[in-house]
Amino acid sequence: LIKVPFDASKDDWQISCLISEQIPYEASMADWNLEATVGKETLNTDVYCQVDGHCVHFLVEKFGKLALIGQPSRADVNLVKRVRLLAFLHSTCLSIHCVDDTRSALTRVMRHQRELGGRLCAINAGDALPLKLHADLCLSLESISSGWTVTAPVGHYQEIPSSRLCQSFAFDVHCSFSLDSTTSASQKIFQDNCCPSSLTAHLVIYQKDDYESAVHLKVDSNSWLNIEDHLRPFQPAVRLPQAVKAEISAMLDPPLESGNDWRMLAHLLGVAHYLPYFASRSSPSELILTLWESREQNCTAFVKLAHFLRKMRREDAYMALSNYLNTI
């Protein structure tokens, strides 16, 4: 099972999975095979894809390199993905990055900026920005503190074209404002960590023809921002002991005329969009429970599972789970 961060609205995207079995993994596009498209699976599809709000879960049975790709689900849809806006101060410029709202993308940019000597001085707090991929991103640097001037671009304004917003590599979607100091302010900022001539500015970011939805960032060279404060908390997936999982699976695997078997469990857990995948495996219930473990990230998951087993009128499976829970 593989869990991949996902930063877009699942209703707007048609998600597909590509796999390359070439070793080493420097594969060309000709070596990639389309294994599954969510909602268009066939009896020959050997991959199960579960798209959730912030993650995609894959059940795969082969080793290789996996890629997640997407395209518009409808011709009239305007694609949107969630991003964070980060501003980094360097000795001679202010760089602004438009980063996918995933832990891996944000930490990658932070690591790269630390290597370059950049300091995080602004980030859009709260919810991530819903970025429309069909519209240019406009940036305007305003209200710059005394002692500093913007040498480029002229007018303190620039745009990131929509064609670049579709790129997935986090470093590519960025721009910068060149700065010059009329004093030794910039040198003091980076040598002394504080100075009376600190840089402050107001950064306005919006998409063309939609200024009302502008994001306003306060740039402050003396601020100390922690990227961890803006990441979704990482929580380990819940786990059932293999013996308990096997016991419950043995009870739910046999098909029943009443339907309260693994098929009903799949519906209740929200993983029933491609039941033939589970039906063709030796233990569909075990795969469903493995997927449930990956999707759930807090202890209330056991309570929900117990509730569903009782709703299915499967007291045998409920008691097996209850007996385990009484031991922890």
Name the residue ranges covered by the structural domains of the chain: 1-74, 80-230, 235-327
139 pLDDT exceeds 70?
A: yes
Give 226's pLDDT tier (boundaries 50, 70, 90).
Answer: confident
Return the bridge partners of 181, or none. 148
213 pLDDT exceeds 60?
A: yes
Residues 266-313 have pLDDT tens digits of 999 999 999 999 999 999 999 999 999 988 877 789 999 999 999 999
Q: Which residues of 170-186 are buried (b: 16+ CB within 10 A; e: fewer)?
A: beebbbbbebebeeebb
Higher pLDDT, 255 or 10: 255
195 pLDDT exceeds 50?
A: no
Look up the CATH number of domain 235-327: 1.10.533.10
> Helix axis angle, 242-252 relative to 284-295, nearest 10°?
130
**Interval 229-247 mean pLDDT:** 82
Which residue stretches of the chain are H helix? 103-116, 162-165, 185-192, 242-252, 262-268, 275-279, 284-295, 300-311, 315-325
**Interval 66-82 mean pLDDT:** 83
Say if CB 187 and CB 91 are below 8 A apart. yes
Amino acid residing at 93? C
Q: What is the mean pLDDT of the chain?
A: 86
Lowest mean pLDDT of 22-31, 67-76, 121-130, 242-251, name the range. Answer: 22-31
75 pLDDT exceeds 70?
A: yes
The pTM assigned to this predicted structure is 0.75
55 pLDDT exceeds 60?
A: yes
Tokens read off for 35: 């294994």
**Interval 100-123 mean pLDDT:** 89
H-run or E-run covering 93: strand 93-100
pLDDT at 250: 97
Higher pLDDT, 159 or 182: 159
pLDDT at 81: 84
Return the bridge partners of 57, or none. 3, 50
94 pLDDT exceeds 60?
A: yes
196 pLDDT exceeds 50?
A: no
Higher pLDDT, 297 or 218: 218
Burial (CB count <10 Å: 0-12, 13-18, 19+), residue 19 = buried
Look up the CATH number of domain 80-230: 2.60.40
What's the count of helices (H) and strands (E) in the chain, helices before strands?
A: 9, 16
Q: What percent of the chain has pLDDT over 70?
A: 89
**Backbone dihedral angles phi then psi of residue 132, each to the nearest 5 degrees:** -85, 120
**Interval 165-182 mean pLDDT:** 76
